[in-house]
Amino acid sequence: MSDLTEAYQLDYFAAEGFDRRECPSCGANFWTRDADRELCGEPPCEEYSFVDDPGLDGAYSLSEMREEFLDYFETNDHERIEPYPVAANRWREDVLLTQASIYDFQPHVTSGASPPPGNPLAVSQPCIRMQDIDNVGKTGRHTMAFEMMGHHAFNADDGTDYAYEGEVYWKDDCVEFCEGFFERFGVDLQELTFIEDPWVGGGNAGPAFEVIYRGAELATLVFMSMERDPDGDYEMKDGNRYAEMDRRVVDTGYGLERWTWMSQGTPTVYEAIYPEAIEFLKDNAGIEHTDEEAALIGRASKLSGKLDIDDVDDFDAARREIADELGVDADRLTDLLEPLEDIYAVADHCRTLAYMFGDEIVPSNVGTGYLARMVLRRTKRLVDRVGIDAPLDELVDMQAERLGYENRDLIRDVVRTEVRQYRETLDRGRRRVRQLAEEYADTDEPVPTDELIELYDSHGIQPDTVAEIADEEGAAVDVPDDFYGLVAARHDGGTETATATETDDRLADLPETDRLYYDDQQRTEFEAVVLDVFDREDGCDVVLDQTMFYPEGGGQPPDHGTLSTEETTVEVTDVQIHDGVVLHRTDGDPGKGEFVRGQLDADRRRRLMRHHTATHVVGYAAREVLGDHVRQAGAQKGIDSARLDVTHYDRISRADVEAIERVANELVRENVSVTQSWPDRNDAESEYGFDLYQGGIPPGEAIRIVEVGSDVQACGGTHVARTGDLGAVKLLDTEPVQDGVERLVFAAGDAALTATHREENALYDAATVLDVDPRD
């Protein structure tokens, strides 16, 4: 089987006099210009030598460094694009948070299905990596929230059926661009090392370099060129085989925070990127250091790269080794560093929360909302432990202001509400902790980690609180160093895409069905030819060349009706779509090759159209009343009513319900047109943002956009022509689905009138029983 040695032999390296070495400390292969270099340069093989001696021509702030990067690549013919939200699940279904700049272009661009917004391009993308949460504050370099500056190029073989083709640039040019950016700051290129570190992710793989300067990894250059294939020539570090593909993607990452830190040479990254916040928090908590203590902290910071929880088996033992190396007592070093580490983590977590709430993630028990809740509760605990008396909403607001968010009142309200709910949850959870501690008090086993995670998940109880209460009851608790990473791992995935079952080869060979309902949604009759019939246990699946029947999707049930030939009529009881082919489930076989007349159940179609359009109207009204943070979390349209689940950080009051109904009916009375269009995906995202995808993320280069007033969404459903066709919208009920998600149940048109009569009848019946006037 082939390895990647050949892939790292660059013409650029040969021309510039690089040598390939093997690090005697860690065994990694790396490239260097320095004939005397032996070590790869990365901690723990070497310490942070740039602290107090960065070797750049000046110190830069975050905003200055960001502009340097974007300007450099813009000057080198890259298109500068705007960053995407930190909630990646708004444009993709397999992840929750944006963790790298390449996430912006997966899966549609990297797969070749859609063109990139620029080629090549450069972006500075805010990211959140929950798996780093336990390292924040300790290693001196880890941040949970960060900006990944990236330059990307998308290449494909000529003649391929992708949305882009041809060679933009590849490995040699990428490395040359990277070194050119270092040269911009006067860096001695002799000090750079390029460590070989093959990359694997999302079914793709390729060679990659980690670029190290004075102990800091400042760039990662990934050359995505392979895809998973059991017969592939390359076996990668995940144990799977990969084969070369006809697309090649340059995927790079330059950590903005790392570059800013390196330019300033401060003891840790936190002083460089959160200077005002660190000073405020230290003053508020009363943390002061003598000159001797400050010098010791500075010396320890150069060695803090050895504290990476992912690399050490015992964090306390690693701390003791650093103390021995510094010639100081380990307890004294711990007492000196732990409060500072908490301060650093608070500053970082508040910035993370500002990104999350600024991008209108709502705390809840699932998905991105759970991750936001976890960060907030951990931050509150750290604030209390280190003795900071400033309100948490004020601390988050400081970061939100710095990041330029305009919805700061909403952010503060969300934080205050969540802190209040957290206190209430803690009071309830402590009783469960005592019960659990009593169960394990008479055993030799500590309280299991799974129980600690469940207490944190369900009740918000921090593990050290569990340990404290358990100790009172005589039970033991061992808290893993990576506890919060373990918690995040339970929630940090997106929705798994189900693997499609194998279909009949005949179905795979059929052409996509021409869907007539997009041309005329009022029409309920059509003619078609039967292309194929599949026998099923409960009937047949009929494939037509064209159809007016809407297949189930987007929360809208399928149309029903009949298919008729001159000799027979079959009932259509279900409609599904598979890879563009529409399957009509019928109670009989109309005959392959037959000419059929389709007749929809017109009343059913009209009711579903009204309720689908009403879903857009109610969603618009909810945002108008509750705020722009409201997003669709689920929807189901029915014949007699529909429901819409929306994100919101508090219960919806009766006054809110009345206001939502009033705003919805105002839009109905305005009788605005309901329009559809098929713009290019990039153009639609640029104009409307990723709120387009509240109802789901459609594939393809062009997407269908439905506009109902100012509500604009990518939507495949059927709709009325004007909002006035709804007649009226009646909100029937509201209930919490889970923390952070509220359900609105409503009806439109005839169904709204029926629901109103039902409520009036119930009122009169109750009045009769109570012997009161119903008007009272």
Q: Quote the CA–CA distance of 72 and 74 in Å, as a whole number.
A: 6
Q: Quote the CA–CA distance of 191 and 188 in Å, as a whole number.
A: 6
Tell me how far CA of residue 374 lies from CA of 80, 248, 359, 461, 649, in angstroms: 34, 38, 17, 11, 15
pLDDT value of residue 102: 93
**Per-residue pLDDT tens over the stretch 263-279:** 999 988 999 999 999 99
With helix as H, strand as E and coil as C, how does 203-218 read?
CEEECEEEEEECCEEE
**Per-residue pLDDT tens over the stretch 28-62:** 999 999 999 999 999 889 888 898 889 899 999 99
Q: Quote the CA–CA distance of 548 and 410 in Å, as a whole number.
A: 45
Least confident of 187-191, 312-316, 327-331, 465-469: 465-469
Q: Quote the CA–CA distance of 40 and 184 in Å, as a whole number.
A: 23
User: How much is the average pLDDT of 510-521?
Assistant: 93
Crossing angle (nearest 10°) for helices 330-358 and 315-326: 120
pLDDT value of residue 100: 93
* Rg of the chain (C-alpha set): 30
Count, in order, helices (H) and strands (E) of the chain.
20, 27
Which neighbouring-strand residues pair with 637? 642
Question: 155 and 249 in contact (C-beta within 8 Å)?
Answer: yes
Task: Quickly tell me which residue has 């857009």 as its tokens.
Answer: 616
Take residue 770 and report the two structure tokens written for it.
Answer: 């109570």
Q: Give 493's pLDDT tier (boundaries 50, 70, 90).
A: low
pLDDT value of residue 767: 66
**Per-residue pLDDT tens over the stretch 367-408:** 899 899 989 999 999 999 999 999 999 999 999 999 999 899
Q: How many other C-beta atoms can be found within 10 angstroms of the C-beta atom of residue 567?
A: 8
- Count the alpha carbons within 13 Å of 304 in the hemisphere toward its beta carbon: 27
pLDDT at 502 exceeding the cut of 50? no
- Would you mind telling me the total number of residues written for the chain in this entry? 776
- Count the alpha carbons within 13 Å of 776 in the hemisphere toward its beta carbon: 7
Q: Quote the CA–CA distance of 35 and 18 in Å, as a whole number.
A: 9
The pair phi, psi for residue 605, each rounded to 5°, is -60, -45
Take residue 259 and report the two structure tokens written for it.
Answer: 């570059």
Amino acid at residue number 67: E
pLDDT value of residue 758: 74
User: How much is the average pLDDT of 358-363?
Assistant: 92
Q: What is the DSSP string of 338-379?
A: HHHHHHHHHHHHHHHHHHHHHTT----SSHHHHHHHHHHHHH
Q: Give 431's pLDDT tier (boundaries 50, 70, 90).
A: confident
CA 684-690-694 angle, 5° bins = 110
User: How much is the average pLDDT of 290-316?
Assistant: 80
Spatial neighbors of 769 by CB under 8 A, at least 6 apart, are none
CA 408-420-484 angle, 5° bins = 85
Mean confidence (pLDDT) of the chain: 89
**Per-residue pLDDT tens over the stretch 237-253:** 888 999 999 999 999 99
User: How much is the average pLDDT of 466-475?
Assistant: 73
3-state secondary structure of 629: coil
pLDDT value of residue 449: 83
Q: Quote the CA–CA distance of 431 and 356 in Å, as a whole number.
A: 31
CA 54-60-62 angle, 5° bins = 120
Take residue 152 and report the two structure tokens written for it.
Answer: 């990307």
Q: Quote the CA–CA distance of 495 and 94 in Å, as a whole number.
A: 5
Q: How many other C-beta atoms can be found within 10 angstroms of the C-beta atom of residue 529?
A: 13
Take residue 544 and report the two structure tokens written for it.
Answer: 């037509």
The pair phi, psi for residue 211, each rounded to 5°, is -100, 120
**Domain annotation for the chain: domains and CATH numbers:** 6-264 (3.30.930.10), 274-491 (no CATH), 505-600 (2.40.30.130), 606-764 (3.30.980.10)
pLDDT at 730 exceeding the cut of 60? yes
Q: Quote the CA–CA distance of 412 and 397 in Å, as a whole number.
A: 7
pLDDT at 227 exceeding the cut of 50? yes
3-state secondary structure of 145: strand
Q: Give 491's pLDDT tier (boundaries 50, 70, 90).
A: low
- Residue (of 358, 342, 373) closest to 412 by Cα position: 358
pLDDT value of residue 251: 96
- Residue (of 362, 272, 239) closest to 630 by Cα position: 362
